[in-house]
A and B are shown apart, each in its own frame.
Chain A
Amino acid sequence: MESRQRIYGVVGEFETPRKLIEAADKARAAGYKNMDAYTPFPIEGLSEALGFKRTLVPLVTLIGGLVGGLSAFGFQYWVSVISYPENIGGRSLNSWPAFIPVTFELTVLGASLCAVFGMLAMNKLPQPHHPLFNVDRFQKHASADRFFLCLQANDPKFSVSEASRFLKGIDAQHISEVEDD
């Protein structure tokens, strides 16, 4: 790791989702921690195989929904009772059932905005360039028909020769080093 500063990791290619999951299992068993897989569609069981923790997206979404809903109701209350009280057909100023539709809509809006932008932010997107895009076959196949496993250089166990040998041992194809830039 110290000797090759400009290496992001070593990447290998698999033909089917199942082979990728098996490879991820083996890599984890061999003690690799910092790795990631790249696939053209989401694969069930892959994040477990790679040992990822649960995502925070649901929590962020919940917070967004709560903030949206509470602020919508609070705002309507403030407008109708405090800032601009009006007698409409003799109803009480805090005619809360009439405030529910807008409260509901803004709950959904807040939650949705947080789900999407929270997801993007946690994924650190937009990020136009990534070292893996330096790999020729990655450009062609990662978004189409191949399943990639990348052992990253920031793993304590990582060394280029070791990682390459390991990937070869688990039948990865087109193994290549990923240059960092």
Chain B
Amino acid sequence: MSASEPPINSPELRRLTPVLGPGHTYDSITDKISSIVLTRPISLGWLVGFGICFFFIMLLNVAIVYLIGKGVGIWGINIPIGWGFAIVNFVWWIGIGHAGTLISAILFLLNQKWRTSINRFAEAMTLFAVMCAGLFPLLHAGRPWYAYWMFPYPSTMHIWPQFRSPLIWDVFAVSTYFTVSLLFWFVGLIPDLATLRDRAVSKPKAIIYGMLALGWRGSARHWQRYQSAYLLLAGLATPLVLSVHTVVSFDFAIAIVPGWHTTIFPPYFVAGAIYSGFAMVITIAIPLRAAYNLEDFITMRHLENMAKVMLATGLIVAYGYFFEFFMSIYSGNKWDVFLVEQRLHGPYAHYYYALILCNILTPQLLWFQKIRTNVIILFLMSLVINTGMWLERFVIVVISLTRDFDPSAWGRYSATFWDYAVLTGTLGLFAGLLFLFVRVLPAISIAEMRELVAHNSEEHE
């Protein structure tokens, strides 16, 4: 039986680690992945992890309730720094989401087999990151219960949203992004939900997974349409993901504030988004494979490839920083030159240097294969890069706003306890949702892993 034979990993064929550990069959893959959801008992580690997340989710609740009671004055924002943490966090979270779509859509179109075992949880990560991101503009609006004013609906006030404003573009971009990511994720899940339905050990589970699976039975007719729809969704999600961070960067680039008003923003925001997103996928993948013994599915090859993508996008980001800097000086515009001075010597210069250290210098270590294949260093580096990307947004938002054109309108910004409470609260929400996700849905696409087995055994024949 060819399917039970080890897939290709003979030394003369390739030196690379395979994308799937040897010896797997359709059945072993189905068993291993579905057992995490169906039969594996809840471990102590999971409980402790989720408990910590739960604490931060409660902190988020408190912070939101207090915010609604008192107003946005409890945050560090003021005039002229009206944006502060809320927008920094919004842009950061949205950026993190981008890697999920990149992995699931762009790598799918490029026929990259190594995407298979990481796309499911990367897409989940996208959804959860966009949920966290969406909270910030909503809360920052001050009266979140009026958020529906941003949507065009026939109102008794006889007015419409201003479609020339990037902030309205943002509403459409982010809500479309969330909807399409959700559809893409769900379509990918349907065959696996059917597997869970058929293997469920208890009646309630069989009923719940059965309802979610919509009666999927793997009919060839269905697969034909399914594959067509999946490919089209991948093709649609690809320009979408590029457009989302482009629109987010328009929030800045269309304003006249020094340091924001620059045409390099869209590409450099998109590269930064993918950079931080891959860092977050690594942050999640490394503990996940260790906790559920998934080293056969999420192999060193995956980690190394993701490290390479981080290195490449990190270099694009470095290029962006350099040209931002260069153009400000070269333009001779005194506000832009002043901004560069502020970044290098101003009151927030240490944030700028920390950003360069995290985002440009540290990732250069990824040139070495020893580093790329060292799980612990890679994990720490992913945390450093995500911190760096957060600092990038802080530098962009705060340094530009504290000292713009008129010295009499200058200000200072420092975050309050409630700023940190909301930020850490969303981190808890994000991680908590991931904890729940790995317990109730297959974190790796079972159907696609079977395709990988079929592919390997055919190559072997």
Which of A's residues lie within 8 Å of B, judged by CB? Answer: 15-18, 36-43, 46-47, 50, 52, 55, 57-58, 61, 65, 75-76, 79-80, 83-84, 86, 88, 91, 95, 98-99, 101-102, 104-106, 108-109, 111-113, 115-116, 118-120, 122-123, 125-130, 132-133, 138-140, 142-145
Contact of B229 among A18, A41, A118, A133 (CB under 8 A): A118
Q: Which residue of A lies closest to B222 (CB)?
A: A123
Interface flags for B71-93 (1: CB within 8 Å of A; 0: not) read 00000000000000000000000
Q: Which residue of B lies closest to A86 (CB)?
A: B162
A181 CB, min distance to chain B CBs, angstroms = 15
Interface flags for B136-166 (1: CB within 8 Å of A; 0: not) read 0000000000000000100000111111101
**Bound Cα distance from A16 to B224, whole angstroms:** 19
Chain A residues whose CB sits within 8 angstroms of the CB of B65 once the complex forms: none
The answer to whether B183 and A52 touch across the interface, beta carbons within 8 angstroms, is no
Q: Which residue of B lies closest to A100 (CB)?
A: B169
Other 9 A-B pairs with CB < 8 A, given A80-B163, A144-B30: A16-B454, A47-B220, A79-B161, A80-B160, A102-B163, A108-B236, A115-B233, A123-B226, A128-B210
**Bound Cα distance from A20 to B244, whole angstroms:** 43
Contact of A116 among B161, B229, B448 (CB under 8 A): B229
The answer to whether B240 and A108 touch across the interface, beta carbons within 8 angstroms, is yes
Q: Is B1 an interface residue (CB 8 A)?
A: yes
Q: Is B330 an interface residue (CB 8 A)?
A: no
The answer to whether A101 and B172 touch across the interface, beta carbons within 8 angstroms, is yes
Q: Is B405 an interface residue (CB 8 A)?
A: no
**Bound Cα distance from A140 to B194, whole angstroms:** 11
User: 4 closest A-B pairs (Cβ-Cβ)?
Assistant: A145-B26, A126-B214, A119-B229, A37-B220
Chain B residues whose CB sits within 8 angstroms of the CB of A127 once the complex forms: 214-215
The answer to whether B191 and A128 touch across the interface, beta carbons within 8 angstroms, is no
Q: Is B135 an interface residue (CB 8 A)?
A: no
Give the number of residue pairs across the A-B interface with Cβ within 8 Å.
Answer: 197
Q: Is B416 an interface residue (CB 8 A)?
A: no
Binds A, one of B38-46, B173-181, B306-314, B340-348: B173-181
The answer to whether B217 and A130 touch across the interface, beta carbons within 8 angstroms, is yes
**Bound Cα distance from A46 to B292, whole angstroms:** 35
B415 CB, min distance to chain A CBs, angstroms = 31
Contact of A91 among B160, B164, B219, B240 (CB under 8 A): B164
Chain A residues touching B, majority SS: helix
Chain A residues whose CB sits within 8 angstroms of the CB of B217 once the complex forms: 38, 130, 132-133, 138, 142-143
The answer to whether A79 and B30 touch across the interface, beta carbons within 8 angstroms, is no
Chain B residues whose CB sits within 8 angstroms of the CB of A76 once the complex forms: 163
**Bound Cα distance from A34 to B297, whole angstroms:** 38
The answer to whether A143 and B198 touch across the interface, beta carbons within 8 angstroms, is yes
Q: Which residue of A lies closest to B181 (CB)?
A: A112
Interface flags for B342-379 (1: CB within 8 Å of A; 0: not) read 00000000000000000000000000000000000000
The answer to whether A111 and B232 touch across the interface, beta carbons within 8 angstroms, is yes
**Bound Cα distance from A117 to B2, whole angstroms:** 38
**Bound Cα distance from A115 to B172, whole angstroms:** 19
The answer to whether A79 and B232 touch across the interface, beta carbons within 8 angstroms, is no
Which of A84, A115, A130 has the most chain B CB atoms inside 10 A of its CB? A115
The answer to whether A116 and B225 touch across the interface, beta carbons within 8 angstroms, is no
Contact of A47 among B210, B218, B224, B233 (CB under 8 A): B224
The answer to whether B172 and A102 touch across the interface, beta carbons within 8 angstroms, is yes
**Bound Cα distance from A154 to B292, whole angstroms:** 47
The answer to whether A108 and B176 touch across the interface, beta carbons within 8 angstroms, is yes
B447 CB, min distance to chain A CBs, angstroms = 5
The answer to whether A142 and B218 touch across the interface, beta carbons within 8 angstroms, is yes
Chain B residues whose CB sits within 8 angstroms of the CB of A42 once the complex forms: 223-224, 226-227, 447, 451
Chain A residues whose CB sits within 8 angstroms of the CB of B247 once the complex forms: 101, 105
Q: Which residue of A lies closest to B454 (CB)?
A: A17
Q: Which residue of B lies closest to A24 (CB)?
A: B220
The answer to whether A144 and B232 touch across the interface, beta carbons within 8 angstroms, is no
A52 CB, min distance to chain B CBs, angstroms = 6
Contact of B233 among A16, A112, A125 (CB under 8 A): A112
Q: Which residue of B lies closest to A76 (CB)?
A: B163
The answer to whether A88 and B162 touch across the interface, beta carbons within 8 angstroms, is yes
Q: Which residue of A lies closest to B220 (CB)?
A: A37
**Bound Cα distance from A91 to B163, whole angstroms:** 13
Known interface pairs A38-B219, A83-B160; A105-B173 also in contact (CB < 8 Å): yes
Contact of B219 among A37, A75, A120 (CB under 8 A): A37
B89 CB, min distance to chain A CBs, angstroms = 22
B329 CB, min distance to chain A CBs, angstroms = 29
Which of B226, B250, B458 has the most chain A CB atoms inside 10 A of its CB? B226
The answer to whether A16 and B3 touch across the interface, beta carbons within 8 angstroms, is yes
B270 CB, min distance to chain A CBs, angstroms = 14
Contact of B172 among A57, A106, A130 (CB under 8 A): A106
**Bound Cα distance from A120 to B299, whole angstroms:** 34
**Bound Cα distance from A118 to B158, whole angstroms:** 35
Chain B residues whose CB sits within 8 angstroms of the CB of A18 once the complex forms: 458
Chain A residues whose CB sits within 8 angstroms of the CB of B227 once the complex forms: 42
The answer to whether A119 and B243 touch across the interface, beta carbons within 8 angstroms, is no
Contact of A41 among B166, B168, B451 (CB under 8 A): B451
Q: Could you name 13 residue pairs across A and B whose Cβ atoms are closer than 8 Å?
A: A37-B220, A40-B218, A41-B450, A47-B221, A50-B220, A55-B228, A57-B232, A58-B228, A84-B159, A101-B247, A112-B236, A125-B222, A143-B194
The answer to whether A95 and B1 touch across the interface, beta carbons within 8 angstroms, is no
Contact of B214 among A38, A113, A120, A145 (CB under 8 A): A120
Chain B residues whose CB sits within 8 angstroms of the CB of A46 once the complex forms: 220, 223
B320 CB, min distance to chain A CBs, angstroms = 21
Known interface pairs A37-B219, A123-B222; A116-B233 also in contact (CB < 8 Å): yes
The answer to whether B221 and A36 touch across the interface, beta carbons within 8 angstroms, is yes
**Bound Cα distance from A138 to B197, whole angstroms:** 13
